[in-house]
Structure 1
Amino acid sequence: MSRNTISGVNAGSMADIAFLLLIFFLVTTTFEEDEGIKSVIPKPCPVGVDCSSDVAKKNIFTIQLNRNNELMANNETITIEELRENVKAFIDNNGDESCDYCNGVKKETLSDNPQKAIISIHTDREASYDRYIGVQNELTGAYYELREELSKTKFNKSVDNLTEEELKILQDSYPFRISEADVK
């Protein structure tokens, strides 16, 4: 008496187990949130109000990044390493001598004061993302260094140890004014 039996593993419930494992891992996994570049987008101009303003040309620091990743600042070719110092000199110039905390050289071709200084960036669509981020890092670094210097002279503290009120004073002293549109 021989019987033909086929032995095997019952896999009927394997799909249920895989589904439960999938749900478990989806529920328990945390995803890191990408930070990206923090920017504040201006509110739309109310209807019927003229929101345009004239800005003196000397108060605009123009940065151009072309498709070959070459950098120009105020129509002069520079390296990315030179950008931070050029931006700091522009912002901290104190051309109209209204800034009592500025350390600039009061050059007529640079900004009047930090409140009027605008950084205008023009980037070619074919420029590399890494180079664009490098420009953004240098701009952020320039503002951070200016605020750090003011913090040490005004509060005798590092920026990292300031209260919210003191930090607001620094931000108002050196406002981060960057435009990626044409400034007129």
Structure 2
Amino acid sequence: MKMSRNTNSGINAGSMADIAFLLLIFFLVTTTFEEDQGINSVIPKPCPEGTDCNSMIHEKNVFTIKLNRNDQLMANSEVVSLAELRENVKSFLDNNGDQSCNYCQGLKKEHLSENPKKAIIAIQTDRETSYNTYVGVQNELMSAYYELRKELSKTKFNKEVEELTEEELKILKESYPFRITDAELKK
């Protein structure tokens, strides 16, 4: 059998591009993407002109958390577990050392913060600290703040946090402001 010169013995690939495009659309539509996990934080605003933003911070108003390469936790020079951190932070924030806080329930200890508006939490980490431990510390800190705000909501407004108005939420946030830093504080 003799083949003619005009006969093509290859496979027709004309519709391959269409098939590839349809497969691409199929996988884009059916694939689910996990939500990114991270730490929600806000970068501080620059210091307004004419304001002294380099004010001295009393050492007792700083709660220092140190994480080492073995993921061990030290809070204010005491080795603590992650489970103990929340209560330590709550005691520190709610101390009312200067007795200017009329909503604080603290024990007014000398070595703890003056009031929640002056309290700062400083986190210092080693380069080899695991991300999971760091996130765990952040979760405990946020939980401590939210628990204090929840307690204040019940005593001040006699409501759950979910039932508060925008103005009442603003009062809670101002009463226990998030003042957490990763920067090393100068003494």
| 1:135 corresponding residue in structure 2 | 137
For residues 1-184 of structure 1, the aligned pairs below 5 Å read 2=1, 10-22=12-24, 26=28, 33-34=35-36, 36-45=38-47, 50-184=52-186
Instruction: Give the superposition deviation at 1:24.
Output: 6.7
- RMSD over aligned CA atoms reads 2.6
Q: Aligned with 2:118: secondary structure?
A: coil
- CA-CA distance at 1:12 after TM superposition: 2.0
The unaligned stretches of length 5 or more in structure 2 are: none
Gaps of 5+ in 1: none
Cα distance in 2 for partners of 1:29, 1:163 equals 39
Determine the C-alpha separation between the residues in 1 that align with 2:160 and 2:9.
Answer: 74
How far did residue 161 of structure 1 move?
1.8
Residues 143-172 of structure 1: per-residue CA shift (max 9 Å, x gap): 000000000111111112211111110000
TM-score, structure 2 normalization: 0.86
Aligned residues: 183
Amino acid in the other structure paired with 1:167: L
By how many angstroms is 1:13 displaced? 1.4
Residues 23-53 of structure 1 deviation map (CA, whole Å, 9 limit, x = unaligned): 5755897856535211111123468975311
For residues 148 and 48 of structure 2, the distance between their equivalents in structure 1, rounded to whole angstroms, comes to 34
SS in 1 for 2:128: coil
Q: 1:10 offset after TM fit, Å?
A: 2.8
Distance 1:173 1:166 in 2: 11
How much has 1:136 moved relative to structure 2?
A: 0.2
Distance 1:27 1:41, change over 3 A: same
* TM-score normalised over the length of structure 1: 0.88
Quote the Cα distance in structure 2 between the aligned partners of 1:21 and 1:145: 50
Instruction: Give the 3-state SS of the residue equivalent to 2:45 in structure 1.
Output: coil
